């Protein structure tokens, strides 16, 4: 059997391992950390369980697909339920809205709570669905770096949608033309954060993203998001995949224009196929230092990162759901802080994920586990100790005001994750969660392909490459389709919620 070496056991690396194993490859996954999952891991803190990274799950059939390819019944490994409502939104003026799973019900809620015409909401969701269905097979599920993509009949469907894709306008401007209520525009603009971008710079094309959540739906896997990684690792091991933990890859071995294996701190391993699930920047800088790097690609502007406070909350908040968003007063100023000033707004939008709403054992009785996240810039030399303290004060003050309680008094325990730790723990360059940003219309074309054009046998997967990167990584299930090897056509990967 051909040996395959996979660098990193993030969700993309795990899924790649499964697909290769199904096709008969002898697969070994090398992981620098003590366990699998990458950003998709979990931890316990004084009786509270937390999913450390990704928190929103869509397109579950693409995870199911990995089990069916292996001849397994997906429900024997993990199960999930459809969320309703999906998210509870709160604005500084006291208004709030529940985003229901049913598009018609969601539109009615928007009309009743915000005064937005229900018909207009339904029309924008229908347009998002039409454009997604017309373009996904070309721009999301195939490599933009291969000629055969443009010779496919799927291109004809995509060409029919080009005039409505919003390529010549920003995401915000497209939404502001459709809706006069700034609150609903803010809700739609928020989807730019799903791949770490700025709605005031990113093209209107990103308005495809709401289709996945509001038309298809969002889901919750039993056991939390971590259960996805755990169930897939179980499947991979059943298929004979070997996982070598605490074994950091230090170099990709090359010979005569081909990747021939990898070298770790312990040994050298030969392989006919090498797949990097690391960010492409450290892959080239650290693992391929003697190879010419695609500098134009590696120097593309990076996506945003995240600052996360994991709080054990010593009471329950019945007005909150699994997913909750507390918006800022000035959204444009918030993004100027992130992408222009490389700092954090004093009034940030706050995302609160509470899995104990779904599974009571994730927190002690009468308590809740809060994953509290703020969008922040990637690391560029900022004083994160100061920013963490400043932002914590802003977040607790904001939530205390909007929830009419003194939040400081009910935080029983805390752990913090910042861009420096994200880079250290997951090899995400500068802590950028999604590789490069999508703040220009050519961003997808400027991402690294999921194969090397210089070294045969070398491939890439994960959020920093295309296909895969640049679409909502936080949705966990977006599929990378391409030419990993002639017999393998797609891998699965994940992201943080924003």
Domain limits, the chain: 1-34+245-299+438-497, 41-101+217-224+304-433, 104-179+190-212
Scanning 115-245, the segments in alpha helix (DSSP H) are 118-135, 147-150, 154-159, 171-178, 182-189, 210, 226-238
Cα 458 to the center of its chain, rounded Å: 24
CA distances for 227 relative to 40, 55, 75, 87, 385, angstroms: 9, 12, 12, 21, 32
Q: Which residues pair with 345 in a beta bridge?
A: none
pLDDT at 440: 77
DSSP SS3 for 175: helix
DSSP 8-state code for residue 64: H
Closest by Cα among 276, 279, 341, 208 to 13:
276
User: What gap in Å lies between CA 26 and CA 56, rounded to an integer?
Assistant: 32
Mean pLDDT per block of 10 residues along the chain (498 residues) reads: 95 95 97 95 97 93 94 96 97 97 95 97 92 69 60 62 72 96 98 94 90 93 96 98 98 97 96 96 96 90 96 98 98 98 98 98 98 98 98 98 97 98 95 88 72 92 70 31 30 34
Tokens of 141: 């599920």
pLDDT at 154: 63
DSSP 8-state code for residue 198: -
pLDDT at 31: 97
pLDDT at 79: 96
CATH topology assigned to domain 1-34+245-299+438-497: FAD/NAD(P)-binding domain (3.50.50)
Q: In the chain, what is the straight-line distance between the N-terminal and C-terminal CA atoms, in Å? A: 42
The CATH class given to the 41-101+217-224+304-433 domain equals alpha beta
Burial of 291 (0-12, 13-18, 19+ CB in 10 A): middle
pLDDT at 56: 93
Tokens of 5: 């070496």
Identify whether the C-beta of residue 12 lies closer than 8 Å to the C-beta of residue 39: no
Q: Which residues contact 24 (CB under 8 A, 6 or more apart)?
A: 1, 2
Tokens of 319: 């007005």
pLDDT at 473: 31
């Amino acid at each position: 059997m051909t040996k395959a070496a996979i660098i990193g056991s993030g969700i993309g690396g795990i899924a790649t391992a499964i697909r290769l194993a199904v096709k008969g490859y002898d697969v070994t996954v090398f992981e620098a950390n003590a366990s699998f999952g990458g950003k998709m891991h979990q931890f316990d803190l004084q009786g509270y369980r937390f999913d450390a990274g990704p928190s929103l799950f869509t397109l579950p059939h693409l995870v199911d697909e990995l089990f069916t390819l292996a001849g397994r019944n997906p429900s024997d490994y993990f199960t999930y339920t459809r969320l309703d409502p999906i998210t509870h939104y709160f604005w500084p003026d006291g208004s709030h809205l529940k985003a229901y799973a049913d598009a018609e019900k969601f539109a009615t809620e928007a009309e009743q709570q915000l005064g937005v015409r229900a018909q207009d909401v339904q029309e924008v969701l229908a347009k998002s669905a039409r454009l997604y269905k017309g373009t996904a097979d070309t721009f999301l599920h195939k490599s933009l770096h291969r000629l055969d993509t443009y010779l496919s009949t799927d291109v004809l469907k995509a060409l029919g949608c080009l005039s409505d894709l919003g390529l010549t306008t920003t995401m915000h401007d497209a939404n502001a033309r459709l809706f006069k209520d700034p609150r609903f525009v803010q809700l739609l603009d928020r989807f730019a954060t799903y791949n770490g971008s700025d709605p005031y710079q990113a093209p209107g094309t990103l308005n495809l993203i709401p289709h996945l959540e509001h038309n298809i739906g969002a889901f919750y896997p039993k056991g939390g998001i971590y259960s996805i990684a755990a169930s897939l690792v179980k499947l991979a091991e059943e298929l004979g995949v070997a996982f070598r933990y605490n074994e950091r890859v230090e170099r990709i071995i090359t010979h005569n224009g081909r990747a021939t294996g990898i070298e770790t701190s312990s040994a050298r391993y030969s392989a006919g196929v090498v797949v990097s699930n690391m960010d492409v920047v450290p892959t080239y800088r650290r693992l391929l230092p003697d190879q010419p790097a695609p500098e134009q690609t590696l120097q593309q502007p990076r996506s945003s990162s995240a600052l996360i406070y994991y709080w054990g909350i010593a009471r329950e908040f019945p007005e909150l759901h699994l997913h909750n968003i507390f918006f800022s007063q000035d959204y444009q100023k918030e993004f100027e802080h992130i992408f222009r000033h490389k700092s954090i707004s004093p009034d940030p939008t706050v995302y609160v994920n509470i899995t104990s709403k779904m599974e009571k054992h994730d927190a002690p009785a009468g308590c809740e586990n809060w994953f509290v996240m703020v969008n922040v810039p990637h690391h560029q030399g900022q004083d994160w100790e100061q920013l963490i303290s400043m932002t914590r004060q802003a977040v607790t003050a904001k939530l205390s005001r909007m929830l009419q309680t003194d939040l400081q008094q009910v935080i029983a325990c805390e752990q913090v994750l910042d861009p420096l730790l994200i880079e250290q723990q997951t090899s995400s360059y500068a802590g950028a969660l999604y590789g490069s940003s999508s703040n220009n219309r050519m961003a997808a074309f400027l991402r690294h392909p999921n194969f090397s054009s210089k070294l045969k046998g070398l491939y890439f997967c994960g959020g920093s490459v295309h296909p895969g990167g640049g679409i909502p990584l936080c949705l966990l299930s977006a599929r990378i389709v391409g030419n990993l090897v002639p017999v393998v056509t797609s891998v699965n990967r994940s992201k943080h919620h924003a």
